[in-house]
């Protein structure tokens, strides 16, 4: 295992930060590293909005289930899947851009995710820590309005970055044999593997919370997935020009 793989395997979400500010040159360097991730057919469909203004951050915190690190983190970035830029590129050549395809939604979304993962890894390599904020999708239309996003631009997730003021353990992942299949999909051994894994997750929570939390992975999942998952997303995205066909 080399240093980079060690870094990847040492990831854990950081939600508490010291007061030490992050240099803007560092932010730009991380964005630049983000841009170097692979991009589907070179579309480069990610735009990042860095939010510094405290009032805007407070609102974003409200929109994102009140997660305090959204307003407190030294750096807060919103990663947007952006095909508005392509409309501009097309207009530069009088080309009538076709949009609305689910495929374009996928490529723009994946572009954003690869970009963001580079940013986070780069940050972690510099001793920073951070976490993704999917909860901005709780009230995505309000986030959208706050950031002034045009058609074909949607906020996929936020990211907090800063110098860690906590040092949580890494969280145990599913056994490799559950997530890596050979040749064809075969989940015949998964129930047994998940049952074993459930115990390591239970131990992780028990140790970490002094016994207060005692969930297994499958319990946690089964409690979560009996609820609706942000049912406003489809109509929001369609109004933005995505997922129409």
Query: Residue 178 in contact with residue 186, Cβ under 8 Å?
Result: no
Rounded Cα distance, 130 and 13, in Å: 6
- What six digits make up the tokens of 127? 């001793």
- What six digits make up the tokens of 242? 């995505």
Minimum CB distance to its own copies smaller for 72 or for 204: 204
Residue range at the interface with its own copies (CB under 8 A); choices 22-30, 61-69, 160-168, 206-214: 22-30
Q: Does 102 bind its own copies (CB under 8 A)?
A: yes
Shortest distance (Å) from residue 210 CB to its own copies: 20
Q: What is the DSSP string of 191-210?
A: HHHHHHHHHHHHHHHHHHTT
- The site map against its own copies for 136-175 (x = CB under 8 A) is -x---------xxxx--x--xx------------xx-xx-
Among 67, 194, 240, 241, binds its own copies (CB under 8 A): 194
Shortest distance (Å) from residue 165 CB to its own copies: 19
Among 182, 210, 211, 212, binds its own copies (CB under 8 A): 182
Residue range at the interface with its own copies (CB under 8 A); choices 29-37, 64-72, 161-169, 206-214: 29-37
Query: Residue 81 in contact with residue 241, Cβ under 8 Å?
Result: no
Q: How many residues make contact with its own copies (CB under 8 A)?
A: 118
Q: Does 25 bind its own copies (CB under 8 A)?
A: no
Shortest distance (Å) from residue 18 CB to its own copies: 20
Residue range at the interface with its own copies (CB under 8 A); choices 15-23, 32-40, 68-76, 161-169: 32-40
Beta bridge partners of 130: 161
Q: Does 200 bind its own copies (CB under 8 A)?
A: no
Phi first, then psi: give them for residue 28, nearest 5 degrees: -65, -40
Among 54, 169, 186, 210, binds its own copies (CB under 8 A): 186
Q: Does 240 bind its own copies (CB under 8 A)?
A: no
Among 43, 72, 164, 202, binds its own copies (CB under 8 A): 43
Q: Which residues of 61-91 are buried (b: 16+ CB within 10 A; e: fewer)?
A: bebbeebebbbbbbbbbbbbbbbbbbbeeee
Residue range at the interface with its own copies (CB under 8 A); choices 60-68, 114-122, 161-169, 206-214: 114-122
Q: Does 131 bind its own copies (CB under 8 A)?
A: yes
What lies within 8 Å, CB to CB, of 155 at 6+ separation is 49, 78, 79, 80, 136, 137, 140, 143, 144, 147, 149
What lies within 8 Å, CB to CB, of 210 at 6+ separation is none
């Amino acid at each position: 295992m080399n240093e980079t793989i060690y870094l990847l395997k040492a990831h854990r979400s950081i939600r508490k930060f010291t007061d030490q500010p992050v240099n803007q040159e560092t932010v730009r360097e991380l964005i630049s590293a983000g841009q170097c991730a692979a991009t589907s057919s070179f579309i480069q469909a990610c735009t990042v909005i860095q939010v510094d203004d405290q009032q805007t951050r407070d609102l974003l915190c409200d929109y994102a289930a009140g997660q305090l690190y959204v307003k407190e983190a030294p750096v807060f970035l919103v990663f947007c899947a952006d095909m508005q830029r392509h409309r501009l590129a097309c207009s530069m050549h009088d080309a009538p851009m076709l949009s609305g395809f689910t495929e374009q939604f996928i490529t723009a979304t994946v572009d954003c995710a690869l970009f963001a993962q580079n940013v986070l890894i780069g940050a972690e390599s510099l001793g920073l820590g951070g976490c993704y904020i999917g909860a901005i999708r709780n009230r995505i239309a309000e986030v959208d309005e706050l950031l002034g996003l045009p058609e074909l631009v949607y906020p996929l997730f936020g990211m907090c970055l800063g110098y860690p003021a906590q040092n949580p353990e890494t969280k145990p992942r599913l056994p490799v044999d559950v997530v890596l299949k050979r040749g064809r999909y075969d989940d015949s051994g998964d129930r047994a593997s998940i049952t074993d894994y459930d115990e390591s997750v239970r131990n992780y929570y028990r140790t970490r919370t002094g016994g207060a939390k005692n969930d297994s992975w499958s319990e946690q999942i089964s409690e979560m997935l009996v609820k609706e998952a942000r049912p406003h997303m489809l109509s929001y995205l369609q109004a933005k020009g995505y997922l129409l066909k």
